[in-house]
Amino acid sequence: MEESHEHTHSYGPMKADLSRRLRRIEGQVRGLQKMVEEDRYCVDILVQIAAVKSALHQVGLSILESHTRGCVAEALQQRDREQEKVDELIQVLRQFTKL
């Protein structure tokens, strides 16, 4: 499923925002590690885990939307590998929505 690095990805314009959000999530995960090391209350840790999951899910949704509006829409308009792109989108939706 990995494409060439020479390809311009549809999320390009939001790359700085995505990077900022992912760095924040990385900090949240480090905070979780610290909470466990400090024997913090289980419920507090679980609340933070839920926050990390939600933040990561939102980043994924942003990239998924960008991919659909950019890469997939372009393939459909140009009739270029359209079935392959639709199949790829369905597969990534299946993976993304797994629990």
| Dist CA 28 CA 12 (whole Å) | 24
- What pLDDT is recorded for position 5? 45
For 51-88, write each residue's pLDDT tens digit.
Answer: 999 999 999 999 999 999 998 888 888 887 888 989 99
Tell which wins on pLDDT, 6 or 52: 52
Please work out, in degrees rounded to the nearest 5, the angle formed at the alpha carbon of residue 73 by the alpha carbons of 16 and 19.
Answer: 10
Question: What DSSP string describes 53-86?
Answer: HHHHHHHHHHHHHHHIIIIIHHHHHHTSSHHHHH
The residue type of 27 is G
For 7-60, write each residue's pLDDT tens digit.
Answer: 677 888 999 999 999 999 999 999 999 999 999 999 999 999 999 999 999 999
- What pLDDT is recorded for position 56? 97
Task: Residue 45: name the closest of 31, 55, 57, 56 by CA.
Answer: 31
